[in-house]
C-alpha cells in the first residue's frame, strides 16, 4: 500500500512539475504566426520557410525566449489559394491574436493579404524577392527589390560577360511582367536597341520548351553575345533547363541568369548540363562565413536531414525574424505601433558577411551575389557587389515610379509619396 501511495504522490509531483510552468506561461506567450502554403503548387517552396520559422522559434526559446516569455508558433495552411491567404491572415490576427506573421511567397498572395493586415494593423515579414512598386505600413520586405537582384544581374552580364542581346523570359504573372518592364526600360536607357530584346512569357508549369529554346538559340546566333534573363518561376524551370541541356546551349555561348532558381529548385534535377548558368541572389548556401556554417548546421540538425539545402528566402526569413526579435527586445513590447518604428535602423549580421539594415521604406540593405551553377547543385559565387545595396521600393527606371518614394517616418510617413506633386496617394492594392 505504502508503495502505491508513494508512487501516486511522485506521479502527482511529476505532473505538477511538468505542467505548472506551462500553465503559468501559456497565459503569457508571444505568438508568432506562420502563413505559408503547406499544400498545393507552392508547397514545394513554402514548406521550407515554415520549417525555418519553426527553427528560429525553437532557437529563440532555447535562448530564453523573448522578454522573458516563451514564443509559440501558430501555423496555418493557406493551401496555395490566394483568397484563402487573406482569410487565414484574418484568422491569425483576430482568432489567434498573433504578434507578428511570417509568410507569403507569390506576389499575388501578398497582394491578397495586404488589405487585411493593414485593416487589422498587423505585422507581416515577407521573405521573397519581388517586383517592388509597393511599400505597406504593416509589411516589412526582407527579400530583394528589383535593384537588389535584377538590375545588378543585368549589369554583371553587360559589363563582365559582355552581353549585347537580351532574352527576357518569364512566367506569365505580375512579378515577371513588372520585372521585365523595369529591365526593358533599363536596357533601353543603357542604349540597347529594340530588336536586341526578345520578351517571352509562358504559363505556370509550362513543360514544352522546344520552340522557345530553339528560338533563343537562333536569336543568340546573330553575332552579338546573347544572355537570357529568366524570371521563370516554380517547377517550369526543370524542363526549361533540361531542354537547354538537350539542345546543347551551353553557358559559354548563351548564359541564362535566373531570379527564381535557387538551391532548393536545383535539388530536383541533374545539374550536369547546367554548369555555368547563373543565378542572382542575396545569399548562396556556398557562401563562406562562420555565420552561414552555423546556420546550415542548425538547419540540418533541426530538419534531421544532412542533404537538405538552404536558400535565399530562408536567409530573408532568418534576418526578418532576428530583426523583429531585436526590435521587440529594444522596446520591451510586441505592440505593432511601438515595434514598427523601432525596426528602422535595426542591424542584423547577414549570413554571407556584412550587415543587413532595415530602412524606413521597409526594405533592407543587402549584398548582391551572382553564382554559377555547379554539378553538385550548388552555386559558385563569381561576383558580388562591393557593399550592401539599399532596397528601393519604387524603381528609378520607370518614369512613373521614378518620382515616388516610400518613407514611413515623419514628415513623409507614406509608402507611395510623389515627390513632384508632394502628395501621398495611399495604397493601391
Q: Is residue 214 within the footprint of other proteins (CB under 8 A)?
A: yes
Q: Which of 12, 13, 20, 382 binds other proteins (CB under 8 A)?
A: 382
Residue selected from 139, 251, 309, 406 as contacting other proteins according to rule CB under 8 A: 251
Starting at the edge strand found earlier in the chain, the sheet holding 379-384 runs: 197-202, 165-171, 226-231, 256-258, 278-281, 369-373, 379-384
Residue 200 within binding range of other proteins, rule CB under 8 A:
yes
Q: How many CB atoms lie within 10 A of CB 305?
A: 9
Q: Out of 21, 64, 83, 272, name the contact with other proteins by CB under 8 A.
A: 272
By CB under 8 A, name the one of 202, 292, 311, 384 that touches other proteins. Answer: 202
Q: For residues 252 and 420, which CB has a smaller minimum distance to other proteins in the complex?
A: 252
Under 8 Å CB-to-CB from 365, ≥6 apart: which residues?
355, 356, 357, 359, 388, 389, 390, 391
Question: Which of 26, 221, 409, 413 is the binder for other proteins (CB under 8 A)?
Answer: 221
SS3 200: strand
Strands 226-231 and 256-258: parallel
**Rounded distance, CA 113 to CA 15, Å?**
42
Q: How far apart are CA 280 and CA 303, in angstroms?
A: 26
DSSP-H helix ranges across 103-200: 107-119, 150-156, 174-189
- Judged by CB under 8 A, which of 255, 313, 320, 415 binds other proteins? 255
C-beta closer to other proteins: residue 156 or 318: 156
Q: What kind and span of H or E run contains 404? A: strand 404-407
Q: Residue 222's CB: how many other CB atoms inside 10 A?
A: 11
Selected from 3, 218, 304, 426, the binder of other proteins by CB under 8 A is 218
What's the Cα-to-Cα distance from 412 to each of 361, 380, 415, rounded to whole Å? 11, 42, 9
Verify binding: residue 273, other proteins, rule CB under 8 A: yes
Q: How many C-beta atoms lie closer than 10 Å to residue 9's C-beta?
A: 10
Does residue 38 touch other proteins according to CB under 8 A?
A: yes
- Give the shortest CB-250-to-other proteins separation in angstroms: 8
Binding residues among 67-86 for other proteins as defined by CB under 8 A: none
The runs of H, that is alpha helices, within 157-271 are 174-189, 210-220, 237-246, 263-266
Q: Is 290 in the site for other proteins (CB under 8 A)?
A: no
Q: Is 245 in the site for other proteins (CB under 8 A)?
A: yes
Binding mask 347-376 for other proteins (x = CB under 8 A): -------------------------x-xxx
Element (H, E) at 423: strand 423-424
State whether residue 304 is helix, strand or coil: coil
Q: Which part of the chain contacts other proteins (CB under 8 A), choosing from 95-103, 198-206, 315-323, 406-414?
A: 198-206
Instruction: Give the interface segment with other proteins, choosing from 8-16, 94-102, 142-150, 207-215 (CB under 8 A).
Output: 207-215
Any contact of residue 103 with other proteins (CB under 8 A)?
no
Q: List the one residue from 49, 86, 258, 269 that touches other proteins (CB under 8 A).
A: 269
The count of residues interacting with other proteins (CB under 8 A) is 52
Binding site for other proteins (CB under 8 A): 38-39, 41, 43-44, 47, 161, 172, 200-203, 205-208, 210-212, 214-215, 218, 221-223, 235, 238-239, 242-243, 245-248, 250-252, 255, 267-270, 272-273, 275-276, 372, 374-376, 380, 382
Amino acid at each position: 500500500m505504502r508503495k502505491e501511495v508513494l508512487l501516486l504522490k511522485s506521479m502527482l509531483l511529476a505532473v505538477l512539475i511538468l505542467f505548472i510552468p506551462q500553465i503559468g506561461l501559456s497565459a503569457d506567450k508571444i505568438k508568432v504566426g506562420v502563413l505559408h502554403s503547406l499544400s498545393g503548387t507552392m508547397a514545394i517552396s513554402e514548406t521550407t520557410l515554415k520549417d525555418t520559422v519553426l527553427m528560429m522559434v525553437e532557437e529563440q526559446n532555447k535562448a530564453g525566449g523573448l522578454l522573458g516569455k516563451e514564443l509559440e508558433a501558430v501555423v496555418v495552411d493557406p493551401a496555395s489559394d490566394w483568397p484563402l491567404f487573406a482569410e487565414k491572415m484574418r484568422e491569425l490576427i483576430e482568432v489567434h491574436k498573433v504578434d507578428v506573421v511570417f509568410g507569403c511567397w507569390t506576389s499575388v498572395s501578398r497582394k491578397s493579404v495586404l488589405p487585411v493586415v493593414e485593416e487589422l494593423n498587423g505585422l507581416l515579414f515577407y521573405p521573397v524577392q519581388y517586383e517592388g512598386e509597393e511599400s505597406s505600413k504593416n509589411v516589412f520586405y526582407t527579400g530583394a527589390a528589383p535593384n537588389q537582384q535584377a538590375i545588378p544581374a543585368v549589369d554583371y552580364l553587360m559589363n563582365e560577360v559582355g552581353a549585347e542581346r537580351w532574352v527576357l523570359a518569364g512566367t506569365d504573372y505580375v512579378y515577371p511582367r513588372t520585372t521585365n518592364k523595369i529591365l526593358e526600360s533599363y536596357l533601353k536607357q543603357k542604349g540597347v536597341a529594340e530588336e536586341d530584346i526578345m520578351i517571352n512569357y509562358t504559363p505556370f508549369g509550362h513543360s514544352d520548351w522546344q520552340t522557345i529554346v530553339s528560338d533563343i538559340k537562333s536569336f543568340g546566333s546573330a553575332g552579338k553575345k546573347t544572355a537570357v534573363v529568366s524570371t521563370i518561376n516554380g517547377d517550369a524551370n526543370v524542363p526549361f533547363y533540361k531542354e537547354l541541356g538537350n539542345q546543347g546551349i551551353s553557358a559559354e555561348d548563351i548564359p541564362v541568369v535566373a531570379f527564381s532558381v535557387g538551391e532548393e529548385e536545383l535539388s530536383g534535377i541533374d545539374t550536369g548540363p547546367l554548369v555555368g548558368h547563373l543565378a542572382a541572389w542575396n545569399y548562396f548556401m556556398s557562401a563562406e562565413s562562420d555565420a552561414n556554417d552555423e546556420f546550415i548546421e542548425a538547419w540540418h540538425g533541426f530538419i534531421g536531414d544532412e542533404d537538405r539545402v538552404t536558400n535565399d528566402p530562408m536567409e530573408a526569413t532568418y534576418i526578418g525574424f532576428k530583426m523583429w526579435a531585436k526590435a521587440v527586445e529594444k522596446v520591451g513590447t510586441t505592440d505593432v505601433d511601438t515595434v514598427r518604428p523601432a525596426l528602422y535602423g535595426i542591424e542584423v549580421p547577414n549570413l554571407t558577411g556584412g550587415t543587413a539594415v532595415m530602412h524606413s521604406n521597409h526594405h533592407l540593405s543587402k549584398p548582391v551575389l551572382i553564382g554559377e551553377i555547379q554539378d553538385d547543385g550548388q552555386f559558385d559565387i563569381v561576383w558580388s557587389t562591393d557593399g550592401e545595396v539599399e532596397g528601393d521600393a519604387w524603381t528609378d527606371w520607370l518614369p512613373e515610379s521614378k518620382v515616388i518614394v516610400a518613407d514611413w517616418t515623419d514628415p513623409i510617413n507614406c509608402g507611395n509619396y510623389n515627390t513632384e506633386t508632394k502628395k501621398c496617394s495611399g495604397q493601391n492594392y
